[in-house]
Amino acid sequence: MALRELSSLEKFLGLKKPNKYSTQGDKKVPVLQSNNGPALVGLVTIACHLVKEAKRPELLGDSAESRAVVQQWLEHRVTKLDGCTKEDVKTVLKDFNLYLQDKVYLAGNQFTLADIFMYYGIHSLIVELAIQEKEQYMNVTRWFDHIQHYPSIRHHLPPVAVLRNRIYTGRHH
Amino acid sequence: MKLFVSEGNPHCLKVLAALEVTGAKCDVQYVNHEERVVPFLSRPALPALLLPSGLHLFSSNAICRYLFEVNGQDSSELCNQWLEWEATELQPALLQALHMAVLQGKGSEVSKVLQGPLNYLDQSLSKKNTPYLTGEAVSVADVVLWAALYPILSDSSLALGDRKSVKIWFDHGAAMHSLQCAAQKVLQGKGLQGMKSYMQKQPAPQSSQCRDTQPCNSSPAESEEGERLVSEEEIEAAALTWSKSLNACPLVANRQHPILPQEGKRNLLVTSALPYVNNVPHLGNIIGCVLSADVFSRYGRLRDWNVLFVCGTDEYGTATENKAREEGLTPQQICDKYHAVHSSIYKWFQIDFDYFGRTTTEKQTEIFSGDSTSTGFLVEDTVEQLRCESCQRFLADRFVEGTCPHCSYPEARGDQCDKCGRLINAVELREPQCKVCRQTPVIRSSKHLFLDLPKLETQLEQWLDKSTSTGDWTANAKQITRSWLRDGLKPRCITRDLKWGTPVPHPDFKEKVFYVWFDAPIGYLSITANYTDKWETWWKNPHQVELYNFMAKDNVPFHSVVFPCSLLGAQDNYTLVNHLVATEYLNYEDTKFSKSRGVGVFGDMAKDTGIPSDVWRFYLLVRASRGTGFSLLLGRHGYEKQL
């Protein structure tokens, strides 16, 4: 999954030559071999590297504060979100919903890498939610729908319907 | 800017150390462990940093990074890598270790838990051979890792093993005043025990070795193998083909009848289960087989495959005899009348058959004489049957109604129970009644022919193994077939004491006809024979022809077991089913459509609504693609919203 996300990120960034990734350990942590330097290990690390390579530093935040917020959510994604248990899901979504109450994007008013990776990470949770549950976490749903429609983000993930629509329900799009 | 920390909280060590190292200006407030400083988090999270803008940082690593950055020290990629490793690999192990050491008193087991991360750290440090993690100077990575490992590494009672590089690196940190200061504030000189009250408030860590609760958010391994990533080249090729538009496509040639298999082309013989003639077809029949087959055939022709799509009305059988009696006509007259009705309805629905025939032709009887009858796969036996004395006839199947012996459904028919779907023999029904006169029938003996399925079982299984693994079979078709085979094949009675049917070409069975479900699939052959004399080029040509059978799921056993067995028994190189597509039932507002019960929307009603057939086609196809069982919910509201 991590490799697919990195590949989608490359496409979003418009990086012409896709990189070759390998994995290490039983958690399958992605590794990027580099021609001139040591290998880079870790989903977040590699993602940030790709952003710099594509010369889009604003995706990491345009101030010290927003940079810290971006890193925080990236870390949150790979620690609390990945591998969260069924019991945790409600809390995760509730907290996230409260956080997004007054924000368009995770870092406030700016679209960043944090939005991209939280979207990738939370997709499988959102896909499982019924329409009523999606309406319960209104802010998460609003943010999610916004991000999934962002040009060139979705790639490997199927779109999730958030509106009450008779023809297409849930994930059976 | 305000930093909230709590005593005895190991995460606070990091931020306090970072604060000291960078010398950043910041208010520090000590609070209780339960204090919810961060407004959007349900569980208390400390340390937390209130930023000048009003935002909160709840990740200790992010806080440290921020403090370093405002002090002019940006984090390098290597720094980031260490921080990610710390959060994803070290922390889970540390939490477990601390839990064991502080609360469970299992200090001796801590070493095992931390072995992996500490070894990794040691290897990296010795390889790099620099005093600090990222080079010659202290970085945020050093501070974070020192602080994280401080409680454990400074406790000499925990036998953690000898890791030289780690020790050297750690000693650098431990010697730093800032780290010592921070440690003092957090642990109050009590070492590990200083963390007791904090640890007690935390949920028990899940050991990485045994997860009793499955993480619901982990990516399933199957999706890695199942889905194929589309490469850039493939995407570009697809875009190119799309932009070229239809001009570059091969022209769809006008169909020349009769369509025969061609060398060098993919030859597809497509059949739809033959609809019973005895009433007006309803939407369930249409989606059940003809529509799906029609869409597939159209697709096949566009792909320039050589497609022959045949179908027809299934006219023999007790259902027709019943109907004839109801309408006061002969069975032949009923068939003529309703065949025309079927034909015109399918025409309205734009089902593009290459040929739509009927089973009641001479070809049917001809083909039968060359069949299994002569090859030793038929067995004679005497059967007990229900005979209605007042009607003076042997009752079979649809002439009998009673209570299902398996599920107690009171309206079970004599051949199959509508509710549980099991095939039954009429004599098995409890409280049977003759459908015509409602009298209770008696049991009498009669001689019949049986298809020796057990004898053909091995051959059948060989064929099915090959076909189901290489062909397009829907999952339900495979399941249903498997369960039939698992239940064990028994000889099936293929003759009946009736007048309206294909006569049995055997002197001893002059008064009998073939059981409709045995003779119906032969209908495919005879219908093709009526279409072209060269029908055997399709039906006795398994190497050049691929046979697609489309049907509703209740017909599966007949197409996957009975029919192939009859063909195998005839030993005449017949084409057997390669691909079996079975659709689920269409429900009419949650009950099953039924011709014999008059429930549902029937072909001509659809036309009378004034809604064009394309709309109906689209709607049915969308609904059908949904999967297991689907309901037709009518009412103008629903329809408008759909479209």
pLDDT at position A75, please? 94
CB atoms within 10 A of CB B42: 13
Distance CA A79, CA B492 (A): 62
Closest CA to B355 of B293, B436, B428, B285: B293
Contact B627 A172 (CB under 8 A): yes
Q: Which residue of B has its CA nearest to A85?
A: B215
Tell me which of B68, B73, B81 to substitute to probe the interface with A (most A C-beta atoms closer than 10 Å): B81
Over its C-alpha atoms, chain B yields an Rg (Å, rounded) of: 38
What is the domain-level CATH number for residue A81?
1.20.1050.10
3-state SS of B328-344 is CCCHHHHHHHHHHHHHH
Which residues, 6+ apart, have CB-to-CB distance to B137 below 8 Å?
Answer: none
CB contact under 8 A, A42 and B77: no
Nearest CA in chain B to A3: B224
CATH superfamily, domain at B263-372+519-642: HUPs (3.40.50.620)
Q: Is A53 in the B-facing interface, judged by CB distances under 8 Å?
A: no
Q: H/E/C letters for each residue in A48-95?
A: HHHHHHCCCHHHHCCCHHHHHHHHHHHHHHHHHHCCCEHHHHHHHHHH
Q: What is the pLDDT of residue A51?
A: 94
The pLDDT of residue B175: 86
Phi, psi of B589 (to 5 degrees): 45, 50
- Nearest C-alpha in B relative to A40: B81
Cα–Cα separations (whole angstroms), residue B385 to B294, B495, B502, B553, B587: 40, 12, 20, 28, 34
Total domain count for chain A?
1
Q: Say if residue A106's pLDDT is above 90.
A: yes
How far apart are the C-alpha atoms of B587 and B600, rounded to whole Å?
Answer: 8
A30 touches B: beta carbon within 8 Å? no
Q: Please answer yes or no on whether A29 and B88 come within 8 Å at the CB atom.
A: yes
* B-chain residue closest to A83, CA distance: B215
Distances (CA, A) of B303 to B253, B268, B289, B357, B538: 11, 12, 21, 26, 20
Tell whether the model's pLDDT for residue A46 goes beyond 90: yes
Alpha-carbon gap, residue B230 to B622, rounded angstroms:
26
Please identify among residues 110-169 of chain A the ones whose CB lies closer than 8 Å to any CB of chain B.
121, 124-125, 156, 166-167
pLDDT at A117: 94
Beta carbons within 8 Å of B20's beta carbon, 6+ residues apart? B177, B178, B179, B181, B182
Nearest CA in chain A to B73: A64
CA–CA gap between residue A43 and residue A30 (Å, rounded) = 6
* pLDDT above 50 for B331: yes
Q: Do B216 and A84 touch (CB under 8 A)?
A: yes
pLDDT value of residue B639: 40
Higher pLDDT, B325 or B294: B294
CB atoms under 10 Å from CB of B194, counted, come to: 20
pLDDT more than 70, % of chain B: 87
Backbone φ, ψ for residue B533 (5° rounding): -65, -25
Q: How many Å apart are CA B4 and CA B551, to the nearest integer?
A: 68
Residues of A in contact with B207 (CB under 8 A): none
Q: Is A91 on the interface with B (CB under 8 A)?
A: yes
What is the pLDDT averaged over residues B2-28? Answer: 89
Among the listed residues B96, B98, B118, the one whose alpha carbon sits nearest the alpha carbon of residue B206: B96
To the nearest whole Å, the CA of B638 is away from the closest chain A CA by 8
pLDDT tens digit sequence for B202-233: 777 765 433 333 344 444 333 333 445 566 77
Using the Cβ of A173 and the Cβ atoms of chain B, whether some distance falls under 8 Å is answered with no
Separation of first and last alpha carbons in chain B: 56
Closest CA to B277 of B352, B360, B364: B360
User: How near does any CA of chain A get to the CA of B22, in Å?
Assistant: 15
> Quick check: A67 and B55 CB within 8 A?
no
Q: What is the pLDDT of residue B203?
A: 77
Per the CB < 8 A criterion, the answer to whether B140 and B65 are in contact is yes
Cross-chain CB nearest to B642 (options A81, A167, A172) = A167
Determine contact: A33 vs chain B, CB below 8 A.
Answer: no
Q: Are strands B442-451 and B492-493 parallel, antiparallel or unpaired?
A: antiparallel
Q: Are B402 and B443 contacting, i.e. CB atoms less than 8 angstroms apart?
A: no
Write the CA distances from B459 to B248, B345, B568, B569, B576, integer angstroms: 46, 40, 8, 9, 12
**Distance to chain A for B53, nearest Cα, Å:** 8
Q: Is the pLDDT of residue B308 over 70?
A: yes
- pLDDT beyond 90 at B195: no
Give residue A105's domain range. 1-149
Instruction: Please state, in angstroms and as integers, the Cα–Cα distance from residue B34 to each residue in A52, B38, B162, B187, following that order.
Output: 39, 11, 38, 18
Domain boundaries, chain B: 2-222, 263-372+519-642, 395-440
User: Rounded to an integer, what distance in angstroms lies between the CA atom of residue B485 and that of residue B560?
Assistant: 10
The pLDDT tens digits of the residues spanning B586-599 come to 766 666 666 566 67
Above 70 in pLDDT, residue B262?
Answer: yes
In the block, tokens 């921080």 appear at B83
Q: Mean pLDDT of all residues in chain B?
A: 82
Q: How far is CA B453 from CA A171, B44, B417, B639, in A?
A: 43, 70, 22, 47
What proportions of chain B, in percent to the nearest 5, are helix, strand and coil?
A: 50, 15, 35
> Chain B: nearest CA to A122, how far in angstroms?
8
Please indicate if any CB of chain B lies within 8 Å of the CB of A108: yes
Q: Residue B552 is inside which H or E element, if any?
A: strand B545-552
Contacts of A121 in chain B (CB under 8 A): 217
Q: What is the rounded CA–CA span in Å between residue B172 and residue B175?
A: 5
β-strands B513-514, B495-496 pairing: antiparallel
Residue B194 DSSP SS3: helix
Most confident range (mean pLDDT) of B212-216, B331-335, B513-517 is B331-335
Q: Does an H or E element contain B121, and which? A: helix B110-128
Contacts of B229 in chain A (CB under 8 A): 4, 7, 156
pLDDT, tens digit (0-9, with 9 covering 90-100), for B340-394 = 999 999 999 999 999 999 988 888 877 776 555 556 788 888 878 888 888 877 7
Residues of chain A with Cβ-Cβ distance to B88 below 8 Å are 27, 29, 42, 78-79
From B231's Cα to the closest Cα of chain A, the distance in A is: 10
Q: According to the model, what pLDDT value does residue B209 have?
A: 38
Question: CA A21 to CA A10: how far, in whole Å?
Answer: 12
- A59 occurs within a structural domain: yes
Q: What is the DSSP letter of B440?
A: P
Which of A64, A94, A121 is the closest to B70 by Cβ?
Answer: A64
Cβ atoms of B140 and B68 within 8 Å: the answer is yes
List of E strands, B17-61: 27-30, 48-50, 56-57
Instruction: For chain A, give the mean pLDDT.
Output: 86
Quote the CA–CA distance of A107 and A72 in Å, as a whole number: 10
pLDDT above 90 covers what percent of chain B?
21
Q: Which amino acid is residue B403, in one-letter code?
A: T
Report pLDDT digits (tens) over B106-159. 778 888 888 889 999 998 888 888 888 888 888 999 999 999 998 888 887 777
- In this predicted structure, the answer to whether residue B186 has a pLDDT above a threshold of 50 is yes
- Which secondary structure element, helix H or strand E, spans residue B551, and what is its range? strand B545-552
Q: Which of A69, A86, A99 sits opposite B40 (nearest CB)?
A: A99
For an interface test with B, give the residue of A28, A166, A168, A171 to mutate (most B CBs within 10 A).
A166
Q: What local confidence, expressed as pLDDT, does residue B210 receive? A: 34
| Nearest residue on chain B to A167, alpha-carbon basis | B642
- From the list B63, B65, B88, the residue facing A78 with the nearest CB is B88
Dump pLDDT digits (tens) for B533-570.
999 999 999 999 999 999 988 888 889 998 998 888 88
A173 chain-B contacts, CB cut-off 8 A: none
Assess contact for B287 and B620: CB atoms under 8 A: yes
Domain B2-222 - what CATH class?
Answer: mainly alpha
Q: pLDDT at position B384, please?
A: 80
3-state per-residue secondary structure call for chain A: CHHHHHHHHHHHHCCCCCCCEEEECCCCEEEECCCCCCCEECHHHHHHHHHHHCCCHHHHCCCHHHHHHHHHHHHHHHHHHCCCEHHHHHHHHHHHHHHHHHCCECCECCCCHHHHHHHHHHHHHHHHCCHHHHHHCHHHHHHHHHHHCCCCCCCCCCCCCCCCCCCCCCCCC
Tokens read off for A43: 């989903």
Residue of B634, B639, B635 lying closest to B588 (CA atoms): B634
